[in-house]
């Protein structure tokens, strides 16, 4: 079936109505009620496809509170659709239902800017992308080639906060797949794809010292804030060409006349390579041990790398080339560029699966009240994915 024939099967007006309906429901990562409502709407939509739909419980996730205690963070359920699990060649398509906008944020609804543009929370990132998945698969299922390809669709509820509650699910579904497509919005409004990506990790280091009177007996205290500040300086010296380190926040302390016995340092790293990621992990352990000895404090480490770096190997490049060639057949010019951003594509690539992770709509200004989606890109990108899936069903990769 030609690309033009696939394109004719896609109803852009229906896609826009459905995307706006989903985007008008707040689904900030912490809004469990909103996530449940969106998951129900998504389940209704994806029921048009064959296979088995399920809602998967989130994995337990902990964080460090301002008082240094560890607590469990609740998350929404993840939606999974499995189609033709017995097929010899299977792919995975992923997206996320959560947005960065909490329930009390003023940016809550979709507005039409002009005939080709809408402004709304999650329209580009990525409820438009979820709609592209659905309609691409509907068009693909109408082709004779569909019987040769199985697929899993995974839509998680926590991508915007690092996919900690879904990373195991992503890995389990991705392993052994022939290829993967992820539906983040394009890297640029012209449709450019994200190519290689660096990684990211978030850490909370809790330091417990000993309180004392700042005037009477300060020598008996162990200043946790001083230790945290020392750790910041030591961490910044680990920055290199292949890794950046960003100390973001120190919490702790109280009255000026009390030696602070608690400090929490929160920081982010951006390793460009797996070697840099692994090197830093050992260096951090060494720093923590030295800090504990030098300042006579107790130090607890929480967190780590949530998304490994995503290089583009030969197999992944072949998938990019396939997407480009399918785009050319549809009259779409597809290019790519490397980026410092991260997404679930990083996690999938770490499983050894070739992935293109910006197959979603064209748009921009994501994570801001100016977020916009370019309306014609809904049908454009659905046709592109449908054609890519058809080529993958024949073993083109």
- Per-residue pLDDT, averaged over 99-103, amounts to 98
CA distance 300 to 106: 37
pLDDT band at 3 (very low <50, low <70, confident <90, very high): confident
Q: pLDDT averaged over the chain?
A: 97
- The pLDDT value given to residue 216: 97
Class of CATH domain 200-306: alpha beta
- pLDDT tops 80 at residue 172: yes
> In which band, very low, low, confident or very high, does the pLDDT at 363 lie, cut at 50, 70 and 90?
very high
- The answer to whether the beta carbons of residues 62 and 72 sit under 8 Å apart is yes
Q: What is the CATH number of domain 3-198+310-393?
A: 3.40.630.10
Rounded to the nearest 10 degrees, what angle do helices 314-329 and 376-393 cross at?
120
Predicted model pTM: 0.96
The confidence band for 7, taking pLDDT boundaries of 50, 70 and 90, is: confident
Determine the Cα–Cα distance for residues 376 and 392; give it in Å rounded to an integer.
Answer: 25
Q: How many CB atoms within 10 Å of residue 11?
A: 16
The CA distance from 111 to 118, in Å, is 6
State the pLDDT at residue 50: 97
Nearest to 130 by CA among 247, 20, 29: 20
Say whether 200-306 and 3-198+310-393 share the same fold: no
DSSP letter for 99, please.
B
Residue 309's pLDDT band (cuts 50, 70, 90): very high
Query: Does pLDDT of 396 surpass 90?
Result: no
- Checking DSSP bridges between strand 363-364 and strand 179-182, what pairing results, if any? unpaired
Give me the residue spans of the domains in the chain. Answer: 3-198+310-393, 200-306
**pLDDT value, residue 1:** 64
Buried/exposed 334-371: b ≥16 CB within 10 Å, e otherwise: bebeebebbbbbbbbbbbebbbbbbbbbbbbebeeeeb
**What torsion, rounded to 10 degrees, do the Cα atoms 62, 339, 174, 28 define?**
40
Yes or no: say if 165 and 157 are a contact pair by the CB < 8 Å rule: yes
Helices (H), 273-313: 274-295
**Which residues, 6+ apart, have CB-to-CB distance to 216 below 8 Å?**
none
In this structure, are residues 271 and 288 in contact, taking their beta carbons and an 8 Å threshold?
no
């Amino acid at each position: 079936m030609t690309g033009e024939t696939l394109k004719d099967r896609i109803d852009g007006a229906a896609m826009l109505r459905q995307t706006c309906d989903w985007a008008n429901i707040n689904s900030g990562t912490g809004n469990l009620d909103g996530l449940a409502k969106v998951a129900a709407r998504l389940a209704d939509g994806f029921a048009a496809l064959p296979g088995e739909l399920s809602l998967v419980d989130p994995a337990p996730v902990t964080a460090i509170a301002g008082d240094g205690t560890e607590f469990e963070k609740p998350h929404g359920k993840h939606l999974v659709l499995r189609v033709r699990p017995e097929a010899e060649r299977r792919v995975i398509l992923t997206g996320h239902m959560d947005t960065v906008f909490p329930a009390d944020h003023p940016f809550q609804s979709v507005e039409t800017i002009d005939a080709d543009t809408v402004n709304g929370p999650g329209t580009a990132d990525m409820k438009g992308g979820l709609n592209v998945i659905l309609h691409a698969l509907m068009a693909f299922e109408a082709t004779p080639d569909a019987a040769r390809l199985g697929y899993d669709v995974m839509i998680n509820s926590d991508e915007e906060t690092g996919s900690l509650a879904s990373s195991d699910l992503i890995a389990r579904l991705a392993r052994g797949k022939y290829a993967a497509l992820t539906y983040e919005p394009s890297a640029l409004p012209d449709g450019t794809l994200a190519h290689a990506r660096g990684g990211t990790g978030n850490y909370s280091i809790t330091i417990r010292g000993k309180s004392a009177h700042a005037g009477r007996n300060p020598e008996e205290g162990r200043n946790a804030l001083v230790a945290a500040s020392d750790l910041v300086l030591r961490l910044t010296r680990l920055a290199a060409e292949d890794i950046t380190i960003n100390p973001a926040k120190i919490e702790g302390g109280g009255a000026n006349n009390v030696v602070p016995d608690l400090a929490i340092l929160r920081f982010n790293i951006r390793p460009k390579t797996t070697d840099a990621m692994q090197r830093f992990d050992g260096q951090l352990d060494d720093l923590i041990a030295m800090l504990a000895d030098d300042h006579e404090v107790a130090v607890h480490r929480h967190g780590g790398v949530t998304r490994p770096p995503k290089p583009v190997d030969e197999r992944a490049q072949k998938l990019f080339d396939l997407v480009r060639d399918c785009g050319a057949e549809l009259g779409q010019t597809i290019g790519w560029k490397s980026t410092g951003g991260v997404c679930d594509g990083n996690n999938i690539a770490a499983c050894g699966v070739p992935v293109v992770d910006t197959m979603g709509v064209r748009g921009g200004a994501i994570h801001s009240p100016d977020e916009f989606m370019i309306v014609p890109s809904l049908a454009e990108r659905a046709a592109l994915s449908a054609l890519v899936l058809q080529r993958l069903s024949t073993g083109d990769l």
